Amino acid sequence: MRSAAYVLVGFLLVLLQSILYRFWAPLVPLQPFGFPLSRLTLGITPNLVLPLVLFLAVQEPSLARGSLLSFCLGWGIDVIGGGPAYLYRFTMVAVWWFTRMVSARVSMQTLASRIPLAFVGSLLESFIVLTLLAIFGPDAQRPVELSVQVLPRAITTTLFAPLIFSLAARIQLESRPQASSQTS
């Protein structure tokens, strides 16, 4: 049941992410005081699923379940988000494994340690995506053009990460079996 909740929340986060992307689009042509807002809004759409994958890497005890959930969440980004086929499926699992290895060495139980993890995870995800697009994409110049979006996206993903972490923690807490108290 918990796995289904994670996947459902992940798909809803992908939909919310696409809404945020569409929200910034009308701001691009505006130029208040002669300053083009397109420079500020370029790449600020966060990856809302990534903090959920990072949470699963730190908290999920089962390797098979965690990697499968990361694959399903990446599949959701590929299908609902309209990205290239298989790109985010691979990327989310790779980020999950990297985070799993890091969390085995460093304690990631507090929010203060998870915030930098979200930033580094977003940078890693962007690096993997841009590398795969450079290798397998039809246009070798496209990853260079997209590289200006890496830092703004990492920052906004980090800003939204505490909300996603608390949502994932609530799912985990709600799915635990409750101890039944017996009254005499």
CATH number, position 82: 1.10.1760
At 130, list the tokens.
């841009």
Q: What percent of the chain stands above pLDDT 90?
A: 51
Decide if 179 is inside a domain. Answer: no
Decide if 22 is inside a domain. Answer: yes
Determine which of 39-48, 111-120, 175-184 has the lowest per-residue pLDDT on average. Answer: 175-184
Decide if 155 is inside a domain. Answer: yes
The pLDDT assigned to 64 comes to 94
- 12: pLDDT strictly greater than 90: yes
The stretch 101-106 carries a mean pLDDT of 86
- 44: pLDDT strictly greater than 70: yes
- 137: pLDDT strictly greater than 70: yes
Contact 164, 58 (CB under 8 A): no
Contact 31, 41 (CB under 8 A): no
Contact 81, 75 (CB under 8 A): no
Q: How many domains does the chain have?
A: 1
Decide if 77 is inside a domain. Answer: yes
The stretch 136-148 carries a mean pLDDT of 85
The identity of residue 167, as a single letter, is: L
The stretch 116-145 carries a mean pLDDT of 91
